[in-house]
Amino acid sequence: MSAITCIDDLKRLYKRRVPKMFYDYAETGSWTEQTFRENTSDFDKIYFRQRVAVDMTNRTTAGQMIGQDVAMPVALAPVGLTGMQHADGEILAARAAKKFGVPFTLSTLSICSIEDVAKATKAPFWFQVYTLKDDDFMERLMGRARDAGCSAVVITLDLQVQGQRHKDLKNGLSAPPKLTPASIANMATKVGWGLKMLQTRRRTFGNVVGHAKGVTDPSSLSSWTAEAFDHALDWNRVAELMKMWGGKVILKGIMDTEDARRAADLGADAIVVSNHGGRQLDGALSSIRALPAIVDAVGDRIEVMFDSGIRTGQDILKARALGASGVMIGRSWVYGLGAMGQAGVTKSLEILHKELDTTMALCGHRDLREVGRDILLVPEDFE
Ligand code: FNR
């Protein structure tokens, strides 16, 4: 553990422990991966102002996200197929988040079901929904999330149609993975991973299998996912879904000021400025470049969260200073999970927290809630 001092270390260990096809699934972007790369490299173009001789005792990174107290303004982003990165992955990640005092978001396309996670963690979590054509299924899904005590839904708007990731096609990745000689050989390279998988019975895409029409077992899932996404999704449909849920709503995948205004007009509780971690529209701006204009456009009307590209506490501080109330992390916690299960997710949160707290102090601040753009030096041509 002592050799692991940063998220990159967790990523290296993750690569060693998880079958190549699942490592590739997470560690890739769509098409040329331009947006995926710039999501991280654009953070390097923003600088901090170093301030000295300020009392640094009694520091705090605590805050609130959609009115919920958090130890630091970081939520675990929804990640599909997490239970293939590590057996019972969603449950382990939700437990780590609960202990750390940050929100966990369960993906519609998780392996463990809403009920599995609720039972194992006994803590409210956020539930992410994709907009699917089947209204009855959507009603039931939202009802299940409500019964499980989920405190918010995150409606993902940027996956009406799916971006292409070359590595997934080449690896023959499907949900669930098809058992072919190549995929079996790929998975068999990681014995520790396989043994843990065999110990769990939750390999079922529990939110969908047995609930969606015609999906009675995991083998029928791939054809369902190809058909189920609602290509006709528009703002009226978003309003319907918000009404269907009736509780707190976070709209995820907003990259444009016009869309941000629409989201605010609908009365959502928050938006997430996100390009899906560079997995959808290749050639879109990096998320951090899109953030300032969106904060300027709607920041006084709606809470603005951020994701895509966070790998350090410094990144979190930059996003916070540019006006995000908090951030979601995707790959940063998945690396930890694949590397070391629950302890790895905890480790990723500890690393980010320490980096955030120390960097905030070196910028001359004790309270993350008081941090603003004045701590940064942002190039004029950044936006
Ligand atoms: C995702 N993301 C995602 N988003 C979502 O709304 N539902 C989902 O099921 C998934 N699945 C998923 C799988 C994998 C492997 C990744 C890496 C990402 C997107 C995710 O919620 C988040 O927006 C990005 O991961 C943020 O970028 P970083 O932090 O990974 O750079």
pLDDT score for 203: 65
Q: Give the chain's count of helices (H) and strands (E).
A: 16, 12
pLDDT score for 218: 80
* Residue 278 CA, closest ligand 1 atom number: 27
217-228 in b/e burial notation, b at 16+ Cβ within 10 A?
A: ebeebeebbeeb
Which whole-number Å values give the CA distances from 11 to 18, 280, 302, in the listed order? 10, 22, 34
Distance of CA 80 from the midpoint of ligand 1 (Å):
7
- With beta carbons less than 8 A apart as the criterion, state whether 306 and 327 touch: yes
Residue 306 has pLDDT above 70, yes or no: yes
Residue 223 has pLDDT above 90, yes or no: no
Question: Is the distance from the beta carbon of residue 307 to the nearest atom of ligand 1 less than 6 Å?
Answer: yes
Question: Is the distance from the beta carbon of residue 158 to the nearest atom of ligand 1 less than 6 Å?
Answer: no
pLDDT score for 220: 80
Query: Could you tell me which residues are annotated as the binding site for glyoxylate?
Result: 25, 165, 276, 279
Q: What proportion of the chain, given as a percentage, has pLDDT over 70?
A: 99
pLDDT score for 135: 94
Comparing CA positions, the residue from 61, 81, 138, 105 lying closest to residue 248 is: 105
Question: Is the distance from the beta carbon of residue 26 to the nearest atom of ligand 1 less than 6 Å?
Answer: yes
Question: Is the distance from the beta carbon of residue 311 to the nearest atom of ligand 1 less than 6 Å?
Answer: no
Instruction: Say how far apart CA 222 and CA 235 lie, in whole Å.
Output: 27
In the chain, DSSP assigns E strands to: 47-48, 63-65, 68-70, 74-76, 105-106, 126-130, 152-156, 249-254, 270-273, 303-307, 326-329, 376-377
pLDDT (tens digit per residue) in 2-49: 699 999 999 999 999 999 999 999 999 999 999 999 999 999 999 999
Q: Which CATH architecture has domain 7-377?
A: Alpha-Beta Barrel (3.20)
Mean of pLDDT over the chain: 95
Question: Is the distance from the beta carbon of residue 11 to the nearest atom of ligand 1 less than 6 Å?
Answer: no
Confidence of residue 201 (pLDDT cuts 50, 70, 90): low
Which whole-number Å values give the CA distances from 161 to 225, 226, 254, 279, 285, in the listed order? 11, 10, 15, 11, 19
pLDDT (tens digit per residue) in 46-75: 999 999 999 999 999 999 999 999 999 999
pLDDT (tens digit per residue) in 88-143: 999 999 999 999 999 999 999 999 999 999 999 998 999 999 999 999 999 999 99
3-state SS string over 151-211?
CEEEEECCCCCCCCCHHHHHHCCCCCCCCCHHHHHHHHCCHHHHHHHHCCCCCCCCCCCCC
pTM above threshold 0.90: yes
Long-range contacts of residues 118-124, Cβ cutoff 8 Å, at least 24 apart: 118/148, 118/149, 118/150, 120/88, 120/91, 120/94, 120/95, 121/91, 121/94, 121/95, 123/94, 123/98, 124/149, 124/150, 124/151
- With beta carbons less than 8 A apart as the criterion, state whether 25 and 173 touch: yes
Q: Which residues, at least 6 apart from 13, have a Cβ–Cβ distance to it below 8 Å?
A: 4, 335, 339, 340, 344
Instruction: Say how far apart CA 171 and CA 253 lie, in whole Å.
Output: 27
Question: Is the distance from the beta carbon of residue 310 to the nearest atom of ligand 1 less than 6 Å?
Answer: yes
Q: What is the CA radius of gyration of the chain?
A: 20
- With beta carbons less than 8 A apart as the criterion, state whether 308 and 274 touch: yes
Question: Is the distance from the beta carbon of residue 204 to the nearest atom of ligand 1 less than 6 Å?
Answer: no
**Per-domain boundaries in the chain:** 7-377
- With beta carbons less than 8 A apart as the criterion, state whether 95 and 194 touch: no
pLDDT score for 2: 65
Distance of CA 362 from the midpoint of ligand 1 (Å):
31
Query: Could you tell me which residues are annotated as the binding site?
Result: 25, 78-80, 107, 128, 130, 156, 165, 252, 274, 276, 279, 307-311, 330-331
Probe target for ligand 1 pocket from 276, 335, 345, 352, with the most ligand atoms within 8 Å of CB = 276
Of all protein residues, whose CA lies closest to atom 17 belonging to ligand 1? 26
Confidence of residue 1 (pLDDT cuts 50, 70, 90): low
Cβ neighbour number for residue 231 with a 10 Å cutoff = 8
- With beta carbons less than 8 A apart as the criterion, state whether 230 and 241 touch: no
* Residue 332 CA, closest ligand 1 atom number: 29
pLDDT (tens digit per residue) in 330-368: 999 999 999 999 999 999 999 999 999 999 999 999 999
Is 276 assigned a catalytic role? yes
Annotated active-site residue in 86, 276, 353, 365: 276
Q: Which residues, at least 6 apart from 5, have a Cβ–Cβ distance to it below 8 Å?
A: 351
- What is the token pair recorded at 148? 């499980």
* Mean pLDDT, residues 245-264 taken together: 98
